Amino acid sequence: MKIHWRHITSASNSFAALAAACETHGYSLETADGPCSDITCYSLNSINERAYRDEIAGADCITIVGGPHASACYREVAEYADYVVVGEGEYTLPALLSAIEEGRSPPPGVATAAGYT
């Protein structure tokens, strides 16, 4: 399973922390300039969210969105993203990747169009 991190300049610190957390669980995040197969992750704030909304909604891959805007407005973000990580992602993102890989329901701390776990 390939996991990509959408390169967004303002989210460089998020990438470093989440890449390290994922690596300890056997997942490698590769940076990308747009949605890529299989999974693409985004970290959005309220300023850049509008710029990426259509890209995420139209992506031909699984999309995972986190960051300050996603945590504050998870119901809204779940309308166009497959999964929304609410709160700190260092524990939730690796658990979500494992759940996706194994075909399980999302772990606690994840919102989808169906609701919040």
pLDDT value of position 117: 84
Phi, psi of 52 (to 5 degrees): -110, -10
Peptide bond into 82 cis (omega under 30): no
Q: What is the pTM of this model?
A: 0.95
CATH of 3-116, one of 3.90.1530, 3.40.50, 1.25.40, 1.10.1060: 3.40.50
> How are strands ordered across the β-sheet holding 39-43?
29-32, 3-6, 39-43, 62-66, 83-85, 110-112, 115-116
pLDDT value of position 7: 86
pLDDT tens digit at each of 117 positions of the chain: 999 999 888 778 899 999 999 999 999 999 999 999 999 999 999 999 999 999 999 999 999 999 999 999 999 999 999 999 999 999 999 999 999 999 999 999 999 999 998
